Amino acid sequence: MSSITTLQKSHHTLLNDIQALGIRIKNAEDLTIRKGGAGPTDHKAITIFNTTIMVPIYSSSAKNSPFEVTEPSKMGMASLKKDGEIITTIRFIGEPKFYKEKSSDGIPFWKIARLHSKDVLATTILQTCIRYKDKKTSCQFCAIEESLKYDTTIAYKKPHHLAEVAKKAVELDGVSQFIMTTGTPGSSDRGAKILFESVATVAKEVSIPIQIQCEPPDDFMWFDKLKKAGASSIGMHLEAVTERVRNSIMPGKATVSLLYYFKAFKAAVTIFGKGNVSTYILAGLGDTQEEILEMSKKLIAIGVYPFVVPFVPVRNTPLENHRSPDKDFMHGILDPLAFDLVRAGMTSDTLASGCAKCGACSTLSTFEKKHTI
Residues 180 and 297 in one domain: yes
Which CATH number fits the domain that encloses residue 303?
Answer: 3.20.20.70
Residues 129 and 277 in one domain: yes
d(CA 104, CA 94): 25
Question: Which stretch of DSSP H or E encloses residue 330?
Answer: helix 327-343
Residues 87 and 105 in one domain: no
Number of domains the chain is built from: 2
C-alpha count within 13 angstroms, C-beta hemisphere, residue 50: 3
Domain-terminating residue out of 24, 58, 92:
92
Domain-terminating residue out of 92, 112, 134:
92
| Structure confidence at residue 9 (pLDDT) | 44
Residues 207 and 63 in one domain: no
Residues 216 and 336 in one domain: yes
pLDDT of residue 276 exceeding 50: yes
Residues 275 and 332 in one domain: yes
| Structure confidence at residue 29 (pLDDT) | 57
Domain-terminating residue out of 77, 92, 107:
92
Residue 196 domain boundaries: 97-372
Residues 201 and 76 in one domain: no
* 89 burial via Cβ count (<10 Å: 0-12, 13-18, 19+): middle
Residues 79 and 125 in one domain: no
Residue 239 is which amino acid? E
Residues 31 and 140 in one domain: no
Q: Give per-residue pLDDT as tens, 121-166.
A: 999 999 999 999 998 999 999 989 988 988 889 999 999 999 999 9
Residues 190 and 235 in one domain: yes
pTM of the model: 0.91
Sequence-distant (≥ 6) Cβ neighbours of residue 278 within 8 angstroms: 211, 233, 234, 235, 304, 305, 306, 307, 351, 354, 355, 356
| Structure confidence at residue 7 (pLDDT) | 45
| Structure confidence at residue 10 (pLDDT) | 65
Residues 105 and 86 in one domain: no
pLDDT of residue 330 exceeding 60: yes
Residues 214 and 302 in one domain: yes
